[in-house]
Amino acid sequence: MDIAPPSLLTEADPVPVRILNPDSTSRLLLVCDHAGRAVPAGLHGLGVSPTELDRHIGWDIGAAAVTEELVRLLDARAVLSVYSRLVVDCNRWPDSPTLMPPVSDGTPVPANQDLSETARALRMEALYKPYHDAITTQRAAIRTRGQMPVLVSIHSFTPQMNGFRRPWQVGVLWNRDGRMALPMLEALRAEGDLTVGDNEPYSARTGTDFTIIHHGEEAGLPVLMLEIRQDLIADAAGAQEWATRLARLLPPILASV
């Protein structure tokens, strides 16, 4: 079904990207690929109920709140997506079959069925490209200060998937670059109150994750992807608690890379 309008975003739609603290003097760049759950008005909610959009299939619950608090605690800069991952998943490669998923965790997405190339291109130009262009711009701004950017990607995961109750509170995802991942694994495990996943509940080695590979590894930058269980950060108190923990653990790791 192709229901994309000739111009995807109108003045009534929010901008596609949020950039926080762009004048930061820190070399830490936080990114949040699935921070928002907005849908362009012209896509009529994708044919999905608001309740479904509020679920983990629509966005990474709590990830934006953790990112925002880390910006405050570490005086870092951040780039956050605004639109739902069901409109376009900013952490997928442009040719990925899950870039605009027709079904997500068993929920059909009517507006993603049989998308035309024109409809796909409209979403890429309006939402995907501005997000990744913003990350590139912020990386360049850090380099302009004579610093090597350090990229940390904040995600969250649903406590249960396909009938499996996930035991991890947090996962560290990494592909080839372990400069930040390995010390973070050690630091989180040393906390003593966490079950920590190494490339769990997802693996960055499947090649599906675009952001940390394209903006991190391909650019030769130290990179880290964190997945926090959603029930732990679904409210403000939980997000604050996890941001405070990460703000304590990250600086020694940043100093070592």
Q: So what's the pLDDT on residue 161?
A: 83
Q: So what's the pLDDT on residue 5?
A: 46
As a whole number of angstroms, the distance between CA 195 and CA 155 comes to 17
HSE, CB side, 13 Å, CA atoms: give it for residue 201.
19
As a whole number of angstroms, the distance between CA 18 and CA 50 comes to 22
First to last CA, the chain: 48
Closest CA to 4 of 187, 13, 31: 13
Q: So what's the pLDDT on residue 7?
A: 75
Is 0.85 topped by the overall pTM?
yes
Whether 87 contacts 9, CB under 8 Å: no
Question: What phi, psi does 90 have (nearest 5°)?
Answer: -70, -5
Position 92, amino acid:
R
Q: Would you tell me which CATH number, out of the four given (3.40.50.880, 3.40.630.40, 2.130.10.10, 3.20.20.10), belongs to the domain 17-255?
A: 3.40.630.40
Q: So what's the pLDDT on residue 127?
A: 98
As a whole number of angstroms, the distance between CA 67 and CA 164 comes to 27
The three-point CA angle 207-211-217 to 5° equals: 75
Q: So what's the pLDDT on residue 6?
A: 56
Q: So what's the pLDDT on residue 236?
A: 97
Q: Show me where the domains of the chain are located.
A: 17-255
The three-point CA angle 178-218-59 to 5° equals: 80
pLDDT tens-digit profile, the chain (257 residues): 344 445 799 999 999 999 999 999 999 999 999 999 999 999 999 999 999 999 999 999 999 999 999 999 999 999 999 999 999 999 999 999 999 999 998 899 999 999 999 999 999 999 999 999 999 999 999 999 999 999 999 999 999 887 889 999 999 999 999 999 999 999 999 999 999 999 999 999 998 999 999 999 999 999 999 999 999 999 999 999 999 999 999 999 999 99
